Amino acid sequence: MSDAVNITLLPGDGIGPEVIREARKIIQVVESKLDLKLNLKEMPVGGAGYEATGKPLPEETLQAAQASHAVLLGAVGGPQWENLDFSLRPERALLGLRSSLGLFANLRPAKIFQALSDASTLKPEVVAGLDILVVRELTGGIYFGEPRGVETLPDGSRRGVNTLVYTDSEIERIARVAFDVALKRNKSVFSIDKANVLECTGLWREVVTETHKEYSDINLNHMYVDNCAMQLVRNPRQFDVILTTNMFGDILSDQASMLTGSIGMLPSASIGGKTGMYEPIHGSAPDIAGQDIANPLATILSVGMMFKYSFDREDIHDAIEQVVESVLDQGYRTKDILSHGKKAVGCVEMGDLVSEELESKL
């Protein structure tokens, strides 16, 4: 990582710009303390992209993303764009970025910080020590399958269609990602499907089983998605790596995030192409935008993932994670994770606390 690297910042909508502003502080601390050259370029995306150019994913934004080593995204979407045609909705920008950058693997860690074990809606003894990694397939499945759309039939009635498709090579490459990351963790993978009903996920189960033959150190289990949803609230600590399809991963990762206390805490990495994309898993939260109450920690932790996965700097990732942990241990909380006796801070102050402590740590 000796040459200058280019990072595209895509603040997007709602609380996106606020959390990206705090993440920028973290990147700048890393840059100055470690004497790295990190070129940051900010571009519009989502609703902001639509307002600027008429498209949620403007051409120049996509080009900047493709030309950079990593992309850090805030969030997209808001009520003012909900009635636009499907092709113009802010969410299309995310799907466009994922597929154009070839980001087929989405890593979503749901790890509980000790200090927050009382912030979950589940009992502390059920979630204490929880450390799950959801590996979600991101460029296939029902999100991208053809045919799709809504058609009007000759009798005037309408028919909506989406298609769940996976090829064996798409399944094999995401299974390898899950097995490879599991090797560095507790060596357990649960592959989640609906093989009792959907042929496509029957193939998923078959290919995952076949690929597993090359990973004899890994303990592989298969589970139906409905059972997994239940087990995640019954006994979440049985899970280490969860490997699953695009749509099941979308749903299960939101569920897993709440086990950690707040969806405002979870970062994510989308990898598989030459540019990685990093984003908090929470959305744009338009109801709290502009009030300095958003939790910037998921985006700050996403910066950590960026250093780990795009720049091979696990040390920086670990330092950021440790500083976040320490700030939480000192009792600082944004509103979403606030509990009795803790010190309430806003988005900006939380970003300052983390960046100041990181500055003295690096």
Amino acid sitting at position 14: G
Known active-site residue 336: no
Known active-site residue 278: no
Q: Which residue is nearest to ligand IPM (CB)?
A: 91
Known active-site residue 254: yes
Which residues in the 83-102 window bind ligand IPM by CB under 6 A? Answer: 91, 94
Amino acid sitting at position 215: Y
Which is nearer to Mg ion, 170 or 250 (by Cβ)?
250
Inter-residue contact 249 to 132 (CB < 8 Å): no
Which is nearer to ligand IPM, 162 or 188 (by Cβ)?
162
Q: How far is the CB of 247 from Mg ion (least distance, A)?
A: 10
Q: Which residue has the tokens 């809606």?
A: 121
Count the residues in the chain: 362
The Cα 253–Cα 255 span in angstroms is: 5
Site string for ligand IPM, 227-266 (x = CB under 6 A): -----------------------x----------------
Residue 142 in contact with ligand IPM, rule: CB under 6 A: no
The Cα 130–Cα 36 span in angstroms is: 34
Which is nearer to ligand IPM, 2 or 87 (by Cβ)?
87
The Cα 239–Cα 220 span in angstroms is: 11
- Whether the CA torsion 254, 256, 259, 263 is positive or negative: it is negative
Q: Which residue is nearest to Mg ion (CB)?
A: 250
Q: The tokens of 44 are what?
A: 């519009």
Q: Could you give the 3-state DSSP secondary structure of residue 193?
A: strand
Q: Say which of 33, 41, 194, 342 is annotated catalytic.
A: 194
Question: What residue 94 binds from ligand IPM, Mg ion, none (CB within 5 to 8 A, per partner kind)?
Answer: ligand IPM
Question: What residue 359 binds from Mg ion, ligand IPM, none (CB within 5 to 8 A, per partner kind)?
Answer: none
Q: Which residue has the tokens 């004497």?
A: 35
Inter-residue contact 156 to 274 (CB < 8 Å): no
Q: Say which of 131, 180, 254, 352 is annotated catalytic.
A: 254
Q: Say which of 13, 55, 143, 240 is annotated catalytic.
A: 143
Inter-residue contact 192 to 223 (CB < 8 Å): yes
Inter-residue contact 110 to 260 (CB < 8 Å): yes
Q: How far is the CB of 281 from ligand IPM (least distance, A)?
A: 6
Q: How far is the CB of 303 from ligand IPM (least distance, A)?
A: 18
Known active-site residue 194: yes
Q: Could you tell me how far CA 305 lies from the centroid of its own chain?
A: 10
Which is nearer to ligand IPM, 284 or 310 (by Cβ)?
284
The Cα 111–Cα 243 span in angstroms is: 16
Binding residues for ligand IPM, total number by CB under 6 A? 4
Known active-site residue 250: yes
Half-sphere exposure of 102 (CA within 13 A, CB side): 6
Which is nearer to ligand IPM, 92 or 308 (by Cβ)?
92
The Cα 355–Cα 257 span in angstroms is: 24
Q: Of the candidates 46, 111, 110, which has an alpha carbon nearest to the alpha carbon of residue 73?
A: 46
Q: The tokens of 6 are what?
A: 């280019």
Query: Which residues make up the interface to Mg ion (CB under 5 A)?
Result: 250
Which is nearer to ligand IPM, 181 or 252 (by Cβ)?
252
Q: Say which of 25, 250, 309, 336 is annotated catalytic.
A: 250
Question: What residue 303 binds from ligand IPM, Mg ion, none (CB within 5 to 8 A, per partner kind)?
Answer: none
Which is nearer to ligand IPM, 170 or 250 (by Cβ)?
250
Q: Of the candidates 268, 220, 323, 319, which has an alpha carbon nearest to the alpha carbon of residue 71?
A: 268
Q: Could you tell me how far CA 176 lies from the centroid of its own chain?
A: 19
**Residues annotated catalytic, as ranges:** 143, 194, 226, 250, 254
| Residues lying near ligand IPM in the complex (CB under 6 A) | 91, 94, 250, 281
